[in-house]
Amino acid sequence: MSTQRFPVARPSLSGLEERYVLDAVRSGWISSQGPYLQRFEAEFAERVGATTAVATSNGTVALHLVLAAAGVGPGDEVIVPALTYVATANAVRYCGARPVCVDVSADTWCVDPERVRAAVGPRTRAVLAVDLYGHPADYPALRAICDRHGLLLVADAAESFGATLHGRPTGSLADATTFSFFGNKIVTSGEGGCVTTSDPALADRMRLLRNQGMDPQRRYFFPEVGFNYRLTNVCAALLCAQLARADDILARRDAVLRGYERELADAVRLRPQPVAAGARRAPWMASFLVDGAPGTRDELARGLDRLGVETRPFFVPIPRLPPYADDTAAIPVSVDLGRRGLNLPTYPELTDTDVKVISERVRQALATVA
Ligand SMILES: *Cc1c(COP(=O)(O)O)cnc(C)c1O
């Protein structure tokens, strides 16, 4: 049997990335100005159906930048899903505001609009939805709640580049949408991020705060405290190449997800990610739920590691993390998914044969768990 090890994620880099980066280096534009930055912001905005993209140094600061630009501050509450990457809640804290964690829906793994509605209070300023494991949140329902209460709707689409809901791409479904271009994301510059919006005032405000708060009309005059959240032209060069290849990257990742779902369709105890009507999920990481007693998922992960397959457990719900500890939070779905969810290796270079080999190892490991 082959002993090849499979990592859970790997960036897909080609000769095009090499060429663009070399071009950026040779041009001398390696800092946070340059032609690749302008090109990337224009092309990315167009691709996701927004008027503006504001590139940032990573996806976490993209979240902070939106909330800061919208004026979220101490005393405010922002509704977030209980099941997400920690950056979503941290960004709210950076503003001095309080993240209010609500449970996700078992049908989408994204924030449950009914629970959002119930969580809105006098201090609520925004709803920050997350497209968990590539599945778009229920934006039409969230939009209705936000409009009714005058709340900002922000989408954390770090994991969902390429997803659509009723034909509309993530990036255009909320008042502002953030993306991450970390090394394990669908398109990457190693570290990087951006915010897309079609609100010109919000975009201007984000550009100002991204650049240390400097007055655009008066160099080195800083009317307020801003941040250095700029992206470099070298990273933008990588991203221009990734965008040029995005359709191929997405198609190949899609094939990997469909391959696992086909190969593992009759595997006992494994349930694939549900996809809601009208949603096209982004193929970020193949995601399955493992049925069984507590600990079964971890046992399976250990078995797979021994067989040379790296996996990832789902996120620990935010209210189960020390900085946000809240034993009273009613989040049964998030807790259940957090215990049972497992990601399998997903990257474009996996061949159909690799997917078969990994699936066979999954069956083998499943046969040995209690
Ligand atoms: C990756 C990710 C982010 C931000 O990540 P960075 O590493 O800061 O680029 C934010 N939210 C979610 C849901 C993510 O998966």
Distance from Cα 60 to the centre of ligand 1, integer Å: 6
Q: What is the pLDDT of residue 229?
A: 98
Ligand 1, residues 180, 194, 284, 312: which to mutate, most atoms within 8 A of Cβ?
180
Which ranges in the chain are annotated with CATH 3.40.640.10? 15-244
Segment 65-82, tens digit of pLDDT: 999 999 999 999 999 999
Bridge partners, 290 (sequence order):
270
Check whether 2 has a pLDDT greater than 70. no
Ligand 1, residues 66, 67, 156: which to mutate, most atoms within 8 A of Cβ?
156
Distance from Cα 219 to the centre of ligand 1, integer Å: 32
The response to whether residue 58 sits with its C-beta less than 6 Å from ligand 1 reads: yes
Segment 296-340, tens digit of pLDDT: 999 999 999 999 999 999 999 999 999 999 999 999 999 999 999
Give the integer Cα–Cα distance in Å for 237 and 34. 9
CATH topology of domain 246-366: Aspartate Aminotransferase, domain 1 (3.90.1150)
Bridge partners, 270 (sequence order):
290
Distance from Cα 98 to the centre of ligand 1, integer Å: 19
Separate counts of helices (H) and strands (E) for the chain: 12, 14
Distance from Cα 86 to the centre of ligand 1, integer Å: 8
Check whether 366 has a pLDDT greater than 70. yes
In terms of Cα–Cα distance, which of 284, 259, 272 is closest to 359?
259
* pTM score, whole prediction: 0.97
Check whether 92 has a pLDDT greater than 80. yes
Q: Residue 129: which pLDDT band, with cuts at 50, 70 and 90?
A: very high
User: Given strand 341-344, what is the order of strands in its sheet?
Assistant: 270-272, 286-290, 341-344, 312-313
Q: What is the pLDDT of residue 104?
A: 98
- Residue 129 — φ and ψ, nearest 5°? -90, 155
The response to whether residue 165 sits with its C-beta less than 6 Å from ligand 1 reads: no
Distance from Cα 2 to the centre of ligand 1, integer Å: 34
Check whether 205 has a pLDDT greater than 70. yes
Question: Mean pLDDT across the stretch 92-98?
Answer: 98
| DSSP sequence for 254-316 | HHHHHHHHHHTTT-TTEEEPP--TTEE---SSEEEEE-SSTTHHHHHHHHHHHTTB--EEPPP
CATH topology of domain 15-244: Aspartate Aminotransferase; domain 2 (3.40.640)
Closest protein CA for atom 2 of ligand 1: 158
Q: Specify the DSSP element, H or E, that contains 248.
A: helix 246-263
The response to whether residue 157 sits with its C-beta less than 6 Å from ligand 1 reads: no
Q: Residue 135: which pLDDT band, with cuts at 50, 70 and 90?
A: very high
Question: Mean pLDDT across the stretch 84-111?
Answer: 98
Which ranges in the chain are annotated with CATH 3.90.1150.10? 246-366
Segment 266-291, tens digit of pLDDT: 998 999 999 999 999 999 999 999 99
The CA angle 86-90-96, to the nearest 5 degrees, is 160
Specify whether the CB–CB gap between 137 and 102 falls below 8 A: no
Q: Kindly give the number of the ligand 1 atom that is closest to the alpha carbon of 130.
A: 13
Q: Residue 3: which pLDDT band, with cuts at 50, 70 and 90?
A: confident
Segment 233-268, tens digit of pLDDT: 999 999 999 999 999 999 999 999 999 999 999 998
Q: Kindly give the number of the ligand 1 atom that is closest to the alpha carbon of 84.
A: 13
As a whole number of Å, the end-to-end CA separation of the chain is 24
Bridge partners, 313 (sequence order):
342
Specify whether the CB–CB gap between 297 and 313 falls below 8 A: yes
Closest protein CA for atom 5 of ligand 1: 59
The response to whether residue 156 sits with its C-beta less than 6 Å from ligand 1 reads: yes
The response to whether residue 227 sits with its C-beta less than 6 Å from ligand 1 reads: no
Give the integer Cα–Cα distance in Å for 244 and 12. 13
Check whether 1 has a pLDDT greater than 60. no
Q: Kindly give the number of the ligand 1 atom that is closest to the alpha carbon of 87.
A: 10
The response to whether residue 85 sits with its C-beta less than 6 Å from ligand 1 reads: yes
Q: What is the pLDDT of residue 173?
A: 98
Residues in Cβ contact with 248 at an 8 Å cutoff, skipping those fewer than 6 apart: 348
The response to whether residue 229 sits with its C-beta less than 6 Å from ligand 1 reads: no
Give the integer Cα–Cα distance in Å for 82 and 335. 9
Distance from Cα 88 to the centre of ligand 1, integer Å: 8
Give the integer Cα–Cα distance in Å for 123 and 296. 41
What is the Cα Rg of the chain in Å? 21
The response to whether residue 188 sits with its C-beta less than 6 Å from ligand 1 reads: no
Check whether 36 has a pLDDT greater than 90. yes
The response to whether residue 130 sits with its C-beta less than 6 Å from ligand 1 reads: yes
Closest protein CA for atom 14 of ligand 1: 158
The response to whether residue 56 sits with its C-beta less than 6 Å from ligand 1 reads: no
